[in-house]
Amino acid sequence: MASQLPPDVVAALHQLLQGLASSDNTTRHIAEESLNNDWITTKPDMLLVGLAEQVRDGGDANARSFSAVLFRRLAAKTQTKKEEPQELYIECAPSMKAYIRNTLLQAFAHESDNHTRNKIGDAIAEVARQLSDADEPWPELLNSLFQASKSQEASHREGAFRIFTTTPGIIEKQHGEVVKDVFSAGFHDADQNVRIAAMEAFAAFFRSIRKTAQKSFFGLLPDIMNILVPLKEQQDSDTLSKALMALIDLAEISPSMFKSMFNDVVKYGISFVQDKELGDQTRQNALEFLATFADTAPQMCRKDPIYTTEMVTQCLSLMTDIGADDEDAAEWNETDDLDVDESDLNHVAGEQCMDRLANRLGGGYVLAPTFQWLPRMMTSSSWRDRHAALMAISAISEGCRDMMEGELDKILDLVVPALRDEHARVRWAGCNALGQMSTDFAGVMQEKYHQIVLSSIIPVLESPEPRVQSHAAASLVNFCEEAEKETLEPYLDELLKRLLALLTSDSKRYVQEQALSTIATIADSAEQAFGRYYDHLMPLLFGVLNQPQQAKENRLLNAKAMECATLIALAVGRERLGTDAVQLVQVLGNIQNSVSDPDDPQGSYLLHCWGRMCRVMGNDFLPYLPAVMPPLLELASAKADVQLLDDEDQIASMEQEEGWELLPVRGKYIGIKTSALDDKYMAIELLVIYAQQLEAAFEPYVHTVLKEIAIPGLRFFFNDAVRVASAKLVPQLLNSIKKAHGPQSQQLAEIWQSTVGKLLEDLAQEPAVDTLAEMYQCFYESVEVVGQNCLSPETMAAFISAAESSLREYQQRHEGRLLEAQKPEEEREDADDMMYAIEDDQTLLADMNKAFHTIFKNQGVTFLPQWERLIPLYDRFINSADPTQRQWALCIIDDVLEFCGPEAWKYQAHFTGPLVQGLTDKIPANRQAAAYGVGVAAKNGGPAFSEFVAHTIRQLFDATQLPKARQDDHVFATENACASIAKILHFNHSKVPDVQSVVNHWIGTLPVVNDDEAAPYAYGFLTELIERKNPAVLSAAPQIFDYVVAAVDAETIQGQTAERVINATKSLLVMTGLNIQQLAAQMPPEKLPTIRRHFA
């Protein structure tokens, strides 16, 4: 066909394509320069038109395919015009775009080579995507594709579905029955490739439509499942694997689609997993397909009679598929590469699936079928069975924690003998199980089972196999980092003796590295108790660190030695370290000067080591700060490394690189270098430590860090952790200025003035709920640092605007969850995800409460005019059925009463009713807030509140008499009610009838042994009663002695308050003639030391 371009342009384009396809590097380089500098820059529309014509009319299939690939890549290339980045195709003139579209459709319709047609389809899909993004129509496309899907040629039909897969949006708005007929025809197509392409297109289409529209397509599922039948019969693993990937997509998108035939789907999927004639990847894809339902529809899985049992059985079977050609584990033990990727192996797939099943379905469903197999697997003559059983325990312990915790004795009886197994890999797996259990059952394992665990693992450190030695040491890290120093102390000699033997023997380097990490963890947990090993260990570490920094393979060992030395320094403290402190920082400085390779692990380890030495040395560290800060500041101020990728080679290359995350965006990928973001976060965390430790001495760095790192970090939307660390940094920087120049200094005022507005902007624009809570914490901690009257009316108004927006968005999320709960169970959002969202929202409101509390505390009544803007929203919250909203509003009442005193009376119509209702709230935290509010109204509200507080006394007493009044969370509400009655009687009893009767009853609401804010008021009032010789205390002296001893023992009263109460109690005993020894004899034995210390 004739070209629309001038002949000279066509000739030049031919020459360009020949050059780009040339095998000669020089020729190809010249062509690439011409493409970039001439064609793309000056005539991109002619370039795309010419390529489209070559796709249609090129001389051979290879030339047409090459032109199609080049067209797709260049059409998506971005150029910046008028300060807006635009892709090349969409920037072409309308007539050119139309011509290109028609030309590509002609090429697709007439192409006879299957491979080339697929490439043309990819080019068409790219054009369709750009048009869809720009809301420009392409009506001819859909008709052409529908016609192609009915073509006599199978490759045409396949090509149509391939285009649907990449641009499902083009059929999204079409009539449902038409679309259904097209897919149904594709699922029944005689050609296998067409059927698979139809499956993939359907999965993409399904993902693009609304949930409400999905139901009308559920009836197609039997047709989809039937596609798999001949594939299994033919043992066509590769094609079956592709089909299963499409099913995985559907299971993720709409698990309810499978509900009506779920049991059959499970049976069919299991048959794939257990078919050892199929390829490993196919079996793993079948397992992933079934496991996806545990993620997306756990209740459907729990209800199915065979799902959990069959899945557990197949997972355990896959987990025995290990070490096929390495019976004695000689090859496994000889390898030095412990980080080899095994994610594509059957045993790893089985382990990961067991972990998912346990976490998603829970111990009530997974534990029984698992332990139906484990005992006999543990006694099997095959080491692979024993290994699989131990790895299964590791995999399920987190998800089954609640049910397994009560059975730990029996589980340890299974696991511990494995550490003496004849096979190295079984001993390795035994160490793995104990290490994982030490983490998943942290606390219980260390407190109850330390003797069993440590006496079993310590001997394994002397195993003949290096990998077993190393893993035994690694499992000790899990145990020791959760252990109290008192637990570890009796075992330190044996632990250190064996770990030092690993460190000093001719072990493999990875064993020595792990020994150092384990010693470091033990030092961190044992603290001062580690001091007795200092003289032996530290010279060894200095010996490692003082060696010439040459061999690349020794870098990680040196890094671990630095980590170990500095953690030991932190454990034993500055005094024990003595002159070694200076020597250690000098050695670290020498190592820092020798590090030049960006991949050298010593660099990142050094940053943490400097942070520890700063904590150890305090201001003595200052001389080293100039050397430490530059690399830290460089990391902390790093910009995000973000790349727009539209080249398939680039994408493939980056997928192979570690430390990159690829995000699909409009047919392209954005590459984000996550490893650099992790380094940035870590560096900011270390800056927090320096500012905390050095305070005033850190002042020279504050302006730079605040301006270039902390404030920009609050808006670093590529990484939540960076924003959180920056939020923690800001208050510490302000505190450094305050400590250096004083709380009333001009320097503090100026830096706060330039900072507060930015903090308020961040409150208004932070998108993540959990991070927004951190932003509120940053704000209130900053206000706390700067102090009284630091907020102007304008900044308070800005805070209220941000808070109002946050509260309204919270309400919308809450209402959305209520609507979600009304949906059928299988259509609801995942229960765990919803629970986490609720927890995030509760944390947000709690931090918002603290922000209001801090502002009221520092601003007092000056905050009221701005706060009044929230009264309509407050009224909605206080009357909400949502207890979290009521709690937020009750806490606001408490703050207004506490910090605005009598001025709060003008809001009494909004406050008094909710406080009374709050005293009977079913949620203990809300009763506590209401009781506290009544108390502060009595203490600070003045005469105006006297009648109100008097009328609440009956409800306060009732709150102390509830069935669970002294249990768990309820006790804080009870103790606040007790303290509030005391406040009423002490501060505001003018309207209380029969005060003596109230006092008589009040004695019975003691003791207060949990809430150290309520206790001083309660016991202060009790002391007054004793000093006045009130009949209520004189007649209840033995009980009062009990109550006082309980509070002193619990340390809810301390210092001068405790001293005053104790002296008053002693005088009460004298007044009533009671004998302390006789009273003490009736007390629990654990209270006797307190009595002897304070009442002797």
Cis ω for the linkage preceding 623 (within 30 of 0):
no
| CB-based contact 433:395 (threshold 8 Å) | no
> Is a pLDDT exceeding 70 seen at residue 654?
no
Q: Please, what is the average pLDDT of the chain? A: 91
Instruction: Check pLDDT > 60 for residue 176.
Output: yes
What is the rounded average pLDDT of the residues 446-472?
A: 95
DSSP3 helix / strand / coil % (the chain, rounded to 5): 80, 0, 20
Q: Does the structure show a pLDDT above 70 at 663?
A: no
- What pLDDT score was predicted for residue 547? 81
Beta strand ranges found along 33-99 (DSSP E): 78-81, 84-87
Query: Would the pLDDT of 717 be above 60?
Result: yes
The larger pLDDT score, comparing residue 168 to residue 858, is at: 858
Which run of H or of E encompasses 638? none
Q: What is the mean pLDDT of residues 554-559?
A: 88
CB atoms within 10 A of CB 794: 12
Helix (H) or strand (E) holding 644: strand 642-645
- In terms of C-beta density within 10 A (0-12 exposed, 13-18 middle, 19 or more buried), how is residue 1088 classed? middle
pLDDT for residue 142: 83
Contact 774, 721 (CB under 8 A): no
Report pLDDT digits (tens) over 282-324: 999 999 999 999 999 998 999 999 999 999 999 999 999 998 8
Q: What is residue 461's predicted lDDT score, i.e. its pLDDT?
A: 95
Q: 125-174 pLDDT, tens per residue?
A: 889 888 888 888 888 888 888 888 888 888 889 988 988 888 887 776 66
Percent of all residues in the chain with a pLDDT value above 90, rounded to a whole number: 72
Please say whether the beta carbons of 1006 and 1018 come within 8 A: yes
Is residue 656 a contact partner of residue 694, using CB atoms and an 8 Å limit? Answer: no
**According to the model, what pLDDT value does residue 655 have?**
58
Rounded distance, CA 93 to CA 78, Å? 16
Mean pLDDT of 265-288: 95
Q: Which two tokens stand for residue 562?
A: 């630095």
Band of the pLDDT at 834, cuts 50, 70, 90? Answer: confident
What's the pTM? Answer: 0.82
Question: What was the pLDDT predicted at 107?
Answer: 92
How crowded is the C-beta side of 28, counted as CA atoms within 13 Å? 6
pLDDT in tens, 1025-1043: 999 999 999 999 999 999 9
pLDDT at 173: 63
Residue 645 has what pLDDT?
Answer: 56
CA-wise closest residue to 271 among 215, 313, 325: 313
The three-state secondary structure class of 661 is: strand
pLDDT for residue 8 is more than 70: yes
Q: What does the pLDDT read at residue 64?
A: 93
pLDDT at residue 659 above 70?
no
Tell me what percent of the residues of the chain surpass a pLDDT of 70. 96
pLDDT at 861 over 80: yes
Q: Residue 248 pLDDT > 60, yes or no?
A: yes
Instruction: Write down the pLDDT at residue 651.
Output: 59
At residue 647, the pLDDT reads: 58
How confident is the model over 360-382, as a mean pLDDT?
A: 95
Least confident stretch, 149-163, 261-275, 814-828: 814-828
Sign, CA torsion 712/717/722/725: positive
**Listed residue (424, 469, 467, 432) closest to 326, CA to CA:** 424
Which of the residue ranges 136-145, 860-869, 940-949 would you say has the lowest mean pLDDT?
A: 136-145
Q: pLDDT tens digit string along 1059-1096?
A: 999 999 999 999 999 999 999 889 999 999 999 999 87
Q: Is the pLDDT of residue 385 over 60?
A: yes
Annotate 243-302 with three-state secondary structure.
HHHHHHHHHHHCHHHHHHHHHHHHHHHHHHHCCCCCCHHHHHHHHHHHHHHHHHCHHHHH
pLDDT at 831: 74
User: What is the reported pLDDT for 476?
Assistant: 97
pLDDT at 171: 75
Tell me, what's the pLDDT at 670? 59
